[in-house]
Amino acid sequence: MKSRNFILTHAAVFAAGAALALLTHGPLANPFGGDADAAARADSSHGDTGTGSDDRSAALRDRREGKSARAHSNEPAPKRLAAIALIADPLERQAALMELLGRLAPGDFAAVAEQYRSIDHYGDSRGEYDLILRTWAKADPLAALTYTENQPNNGRDTSTILASWAGKDAAAAEHWALDHHTGDGPNPYLVSVIRGIAAYDIGHASELAQAMPSSRERGMAVDSITRALMMQGTDAAMAFPASIQDPALRAGFVASVADRLAAKDPAQAATWLASSTDAESQTGAARSVGQALAKNDPTAATQWLQKLQPTAQAEAARGIIPVMSSDDIAKTATWASSLVGIPNYDKVVEEFVWSCDNRAPEQSAAWIQSVTDPDQRRRLYYSMLGEWAKRDAAAVKTWVSSNAVPADVLRRFSH
């Protein structure tokens, strides 16, 4: 594996923004310019001098740019935070918030977090609140976790704190996550820890993911690790799944890497996936890669499908069919018919049925008879014809009366 590249953390991105603001506007202090209405009233008292309008414009400009706080950097945190909330410009506001957080003592964060939650905001209050929690996690993670545990709907807040803490002290955050999880299900706290350490220690992050049972939580952990892998470069990302022994987890990594790679370079993703001899991994990723490739060149996508393991071809077709049928239903029907006999062909049929059920419902319904599994065929009749009936019940009644359908389907839709 290639050596890890340096990865900017979320806080570092904000710090970079703050640095840019410093270079652009000079030293930033926090805005505490006092009550805006009082300032306006003071300005209006100078109407006879002819300077009120200019003064008012200057006051508004200072407030917009956060300059009115330059002489008040020693004000108490609550007053400073209230003034920061008045800054309309996002860059100025975040820079001022960063400066405030950098000055807080560990014991001050709870009051700041509580106040921030209670005041109105101009912009991305969720992102700025996350910044408060991340900074608090660096200063006193246990206090931050205690605070969020007492808040409603605290799952995201706890996750934010754990990820930030893990980036600074992975062992301590991991210990907390293991100690506080109860029950036999997947540990959601570990997902956050993995997200926090993946940028610094992919090896340990993947070890933690392997220890998790197959679950939605493990899928989230795989996604976090894949993000870090992509930061190291596509070669590192594509090479990594081969190091995973667990077949299901390896397939999860292949699918996650393929999704991200396909969003950037569908042809590269398609070539990489086709080169794999791991049928399970191919199957898990084939649908999203097929869809991405078809958006650029449907014909190339159909040719690529032939290079895949037989068990992966149906999933690839499920990605290609919606894109192809959006341009030419008849051509898509002809191509889908040529795939008869591949494993899981019933999935191909079902994908075609739903790809054109609104535009060509008669043709869509006719294809249902091609499903070989009787239970799946019956369910598809009921769901597809049921949706069609919501739009045109008379047309459905006519169609079922004119076509060979199961007796129960006829009874259901002919009245």
Per-residue pLDDT band for 122 (boundaries 50, 70, 90) equals confident
* For residues 236-253, average pLDDT: 94
> Any idea where the domains of the chain sit in the sequence?
1-38+58-139, 357-415
Cα–Cα distance measured from residue 54 to residue 125, given in angstroms and rounded to the nearest whole number: 32
Least confident of 30-39, 104-113, 242-251: 30-39
* For residues 379-395, average pLDDT: 96
Note the Cα 184 to chain centre separation in Å.
27
Could you report the per-residue pLDDT of 1-39, keeping only the tens digit for each?
A: 333 333 333 333 334 343 334 333 444 334 333 444 443
pLDDT at 415: 80
Could you report the per-residue pLDDT of 276-320, keeping only the tens digit for each?
A: 999 999 999 999 999 999 999 999 999 999 999 999 999 999 999
- Does the pTM surpass 0.95? The reply is no
More reliable by pLDDT, 3 or 345: 345
pLDDT at 57: 56
Could you report the per-residue pLDDT of 44-100, keeping only the tens digit for each?
A: 444 444 444 555 555 455 555 555 443 355 678 888 999 999 999 999 999 999 999
pLDDT at 121: 83
* For residues 115-124, average pLDDT: 85
What are the CA-CA distances from residue 93 to residues 37, 110, 233, 277 (Å)? Answer: 20, 20, 33, 52
* For residues 359-386, average pLDDT: 96
Give the chain as a 3 state SS string.
CCCCCCCCCHHHHHHHHHHHHHHHHCCCCCCCCCCHHHHHHHHHCCHHHCCHHHHHHHHHHHHHHCHHHCCCCCCCHHHHHHHHCCCCCHHHHHHHHHHHHHHCCHHHHHHHHHHHHHCCCCCCHHHHHHHHHHHHHHHCHHHHHHHHHCCCCCHHHHHHHHHHHHHHCHHHHHHHHHHHCCCCCCCHHHHHHHHHHCCCCHHHHHHHHHHCCCCHHHHHHHHHHHHHHHHHCHHHHHHHHHHCCCHHHHHHHHHHHHHHHHHHCHHHHHHHHHCCCCHHHHHHHHHHHHHHHHHHCHHHHHHHHCCCCHHHHHHHHHHHHHHHHCCCHHHHHHHHHCCCCCCCHHHHHHHHHHHCCCCCHHHHHHHHHHCCCHHHHHHHHHHHHHHHHHHHHHHHHHHHHHCCCCHHHHHHHCC
The per-residue pLDDT of the chain, averaged, comes to: 85
* For residues 216-227, average pLDDT: 96
pLDDT at 182: 87
pLDDT at 308: 97
Residue 343 reports pLDDT greater than 60: yes
* For residues 111-125, average pLDDT: 87
Q: What are phi and psi of 8, to 5 degrees?
A: -70, 130
